[in-house]
Structure 1
Amino acid sequence: MSPLSQGIVSKGGAKTSPDTIVMSASVNVSQVKYASELSTAADKLPRFSDAAINKHIDLIKFNVSEYLYALREHNENRRVRTLDGLQKSYKKLQGLRKNLSLEEDEALNFYLVKIKTNITLLESIKTSSDNF
């Protein structure tokens, strides 16, 4: 029988199973992937012809940055606060989209969907790792 099959003893003396280690590594890889995609989508958000939309784009970029920082630092209060800020800007942008041309609207929608999807995926990983 392999020594790993019996578990790994951490510094505190608690045993960690190989399955736990594999699950943890898988979660970390997924978190890095989704965080990277989220950061890239926020960074690539273009400027639009409407100043009010650009204001909310800037708020989304700021809140994405703060959200990723909160995740990295395991700061639950900051994470919740930035998610609230993202949600408010997202909703405001949905109302302002009618002022955009079709091309600009499609571009904005493309990036907003990417941002929302990656936040949802990061939140689902966080929830599953909290329950793990």
Structure 2
Amino acid sequence: MKQLFLVAILVAIVNTSCATEKLNTSPLSSNFYSEAKTAQAEIESNNEININIRDNVNASEITNLISTFPNFKNKGLNEQIQILKYNLQNYLYAIDAGNRSGKNRNIKSVEKSYKNIQKLRSSLDNDDNELLNRYLVKIKTNVSVIEDSVNGNGNKK
């Protein structure tokens, strides 16, 4: 009985200590496969936007600014503000969807609207100008923080 027990233990040790690997006929095949998968993963990660826009404080503040943006007496300025708000909303949607080209397109539109609003500010009185400036500064700051966090994840424009 003792011999049978020792033989069983010996067989178990031999079976667990001897590992067999699958036969590889080419020494290069596994190297090329792993390098190709790594390169593909890098390409896919460069096209993704790794930011959760729903939990982002800056995106929430931009949405709040869009909804509370004041109206001014200048009709042209109000039209540019509407365009800015529309582009900001689309910018946030593009980030949420992980759409890098849509994000880039909308950030350019936001910048263009921002510049047009800056040109139209000259017709405002001091109080309205300060109010508009506060909103524009907050928008610009929050967009910059979002852009930094998007680009800080290893993604470049």
Please give the TM-score of this superposition, normalised by the length of structure 1.
0.74
Match of 2:23 in 1: none
Match of 1:20 in 2: none
Q: Which has the larger radius of gyration?
A: 2
User: 2 CA distance for matches of 1:34 and 1:82?
Assistant: 17
Match of 1:60 in 2: 84
User: 2 CA distance for matches of 1:117 and 1:77?
Assistant: 22
Runs of 4 or more, structure 1, over 2 Å off, are: 27-31
8 A Cα contact 1:41 1:115, kept in partner: yes
Pick from 97, 113, 119 the counterpart of residue 137 of structure 2.
113
Please give the TM-score of this superposition, normalised by the length of structure 2.
0.63
Matches within 5 A, 1:1-132: 28=52, 32-130=56-154
8 A Cα contact 2:53 2:92, kept in partner: no
* Superposed CA RMSD: 1.7
- The gaps in structure 1 that reach 5 residues or longer are 1-26
- The gaps in structure 2 that reach 5 residues or longer are 1-50
1:31: Cα distance to partner? Answer: 5.8
1:130: Cα distance to partner? Answer: 2.6
